[in-house]
Amino acid sequence: MPTINDVSKLAGVSKATVSRVINNKGKIKESTKTLVFEAMQTLNYQPNTLAQALASNTSHSIGLITSIFDGNYFGVLLKESAKLADQAGKQLIVTDGHHDPQREIEAIDSLVARRCDVILLYSRKLTQQDFKDIKARTSTPIVVMNREVKNNIYRSVWFDHFHASSLAVNHLLELGHRAIACITASVSSRTVKLRYGAFQACLAKQQIAINQDLVVAGDYTIAGGYQACKKIIAQKQPFTAIYAFNDDMAIGAIRALHEIGIKVPEQVSVIGIDNEPFGSFVTPSLSSVELPIKEITNAAMKIALDLANGVPVSPIDTEFRGKLIKRESTTINHASLL
């Protein structure tokens, strides 16, 4: 690979000058500019980004840490991130957080070691103390997604999962459902706790006792929802609605119900969360709660880019709220009308 020295020799100028035309810095005579461009051309010269980064102390890269690689949710997250990074002339370095606090921290360290301008951390496992420790250890700016970071240690954007969950549960309650099965998630995360907390709170408000036999954990996949629903059915206890923690599991549950001849929504209403694109096209179409994942990604990237560019960002964190999407899979509880 040709280096800046090769170019400077061929063009008959110093490498300082070559550097200046590459970066379009300072005043340079048009004629020497042309000389340099021609030399770069004939040599097929490409500046070594690593050397540039080392010398200038900006790597023009954005680190993204996530543990989610499945489904539409992640697709949108990555697509938007890639688009915005690209527009800003930054490379996106993607790293897996492995659903593990220790691995999330390692991921941060490796991105810091690579001198990313800024890190986007989609965190599931870190505690407030972890954030504090990280802050003490590194000066790399970090934007946290999906988690609220207290005390203004890092800027953060997140969903109000309690609210989103309440939307789903209250929708079922308003339709007259009382015996509500719940497909939760086996992973322990703040998101899961908040969603289940909302389930408890909403039922408690209506003075409905939760039937633990009807609460089964899934793994966020369609197959997991299918299995979970089979377990619920096996309990042989009456229920008129299922609330699944995401659309994938809801779809799996509907299939399980279908297979034993239970009609959705006539006999059992089903609602999920995420508003996956397939939701409005399956039959019955799926009621859900839409989370503005595109918006939250954009917000996070905007902050990240500002931080990378040294633009002052307000210390105000942002909470995003979901929206109830009513479709065919939920309907009034006929049993209660009897």
Partner DNA sequence: CTGAAAGCGCTTACAG
- Interface residues toward DNA, by CB under 7 A: 1, 3-5, 12-20, 22-23, 25-29, 31-33, 45-48, 51-52, 54-57
Residue type present at position 128: Q
How many Cβ atoms are within 10 Å of 197's Cβ, its own excluded?
A: 14
Residue 85 Cβ vs its own copies, minimum distance, rounded to whole Å: 9
CB 204 within 8 A of CB 215: no
- Part of the chain binding its own copies (CB under 8 A), chosen from 17-25, 143-151, 211-219, 249-257: 249-257
- In angstroms, rounded to a whole number, what is the distance separating the alpha carbons of residues 249 and 224? 6
Query: Which of 7, 254 has the CB closer to DNA?
Result: 7
Based on the shown chain and the rule CB under 8 A, indicate whether residue 15 belongs to the binding site for its own copies.
no
Based on the shown chain and the rule CB under 8 A, indicate whether residue 74 belongs to the binding site for its own copies.
yes
CB 183 within 8 A of CB 218: yes
- In angstroms, rounded to a whole number, what is the distance separating the alpha carbons of residues 145 and 297? 8
251 makes contact, choosing from DNA, its own copies, none, with CB < 5 to 8 Å by partner type, with its own copies
Query: Which of 30, 281 has the CB closer to its own copies?
Result: 281
- Part of the chain binding its own copies (CB under 8 A), chosen from 162-170, 220-228, 301-309, 315-323: 220-228
Please report how many Cα atoms fall inside a 13 Å half-sphere around the Cα of residue 123, on the Cβ side: 30
Based on the shown chain and the rule CB under 8 A, indicate whether residue 255 belongs to the binding site for its own copies.
yes
SS3 for 28-82 is CCHHHHHHHHHHHHHHCCCCCHHHHHHHHCCCCEEEEEECCCCHHHHHHHHHHHH
Residue 156 Cβ vs its own copies, minimum distance, rounded to whole Å: 23
CB 206 within 8 A of CB 174: no
Query: Which of 36, 257 has the CB closer to DNA?
Result: 36
- In angstroms, rounded to a whole number, what is the distance separating the alpha carbons of residues 127 and 105? 11
17 makes contact, choosing from DNA, its own copies, none, with CB < 5 to 8 Å by partner type, with DNA
Q: Which residues bind its own copies (CB under 8 A)?
A: 1, 44, 46-51, 53-54, 59, 61, 69-72, 74-75, 78-79, 82-83, 86, 91-96, 98, 109-110, 112-115, 137-139, 221-223, 226, 248, 251-252, 254-255, 258, 277-278, 280-283, 285
